[in-house]
Amino acid sequence: METPNFNRLLTELKELQLLIGEFALCGSAPMAVRGLRDSHDLDIVVSENFYQILKQKYSEKKYQTTLGPLKIKDLEISCTWLNDPDEAKKIITEAEIINNWPFAPLKYVIAYKQMLNRQKDLDDLKLIEEYLLQEKS
Which residues constitute the domain of residue 9?
4-105
- 41, 50, 70, 124, 125 from 110: Cα distances, Å: 18, 26, 24, 9, 7
Q: Is the dihedral of CA 89, 87, 10, 57 positive or negative?
A: negative
Q: Domain containing 42 — which CATH number?
A: 3.30.460
pLDDT at 105 over 70: yes
Strands 42-46 and 70-72: unpaired
Question: Mean pLDDT of all residues in the chain?
Answer: 89
Q: Tell whether 96 is covered by a domain.
A: yes
Number of domains in the chain: 1
Q: Tell whether 130 is covered by a domain.
A: no
Provide mean pLDDT across the span 51-72: 74
Q: Tell whether 129 is covered by a domain.
A: no
With bands split at pLDDT 50, 70 and 90, how would you rate the model's confidence at 65? low
pLDDT at 119 over 90: yes
Q: Tell whether 112 is covered by a domain.
A: no
pLDDT computed for residue 63 by the predictor = 59
pLDDT computed for residue 58 by the predictor = 81
Q: Tell whether 22 is covered by a domain.
A: yes
Query: Whose CA is closest to 39, among 1, 68, 70?
Result: 1
**pTM reported for the whole predicted model:** 0.90
Q: Tell whether 38 is covered by a domain.
A: yes
Q: Which helix or strand (DSSP H or E) is residue 119 part of?
A: helix 119-136
pLDDT at 1 over 60: no
The one-letter amino acid code at 97 reads: I
Q: Tell whether 48 is covered by a domain.
A: yes
Q: Tell whether 120 is covered by a domain.
A: no
pLDDT computed for residue 3 by the predictor = 75
Long-range CB pairs of 111-114 (<8 Å, 24+ gap) are 112/26, 112/27, 112/81, 112/82
Contacts of 111 (CB under 8 A, 6+ apart): none
- Per-residue pLDDT tens for 4-58? 789 999 999 999 889 999 999 999 999 999 999 999 999 999 998 888 888 888 8
Percent of the chain residues past pLDDT 70, beyond the cut: 91
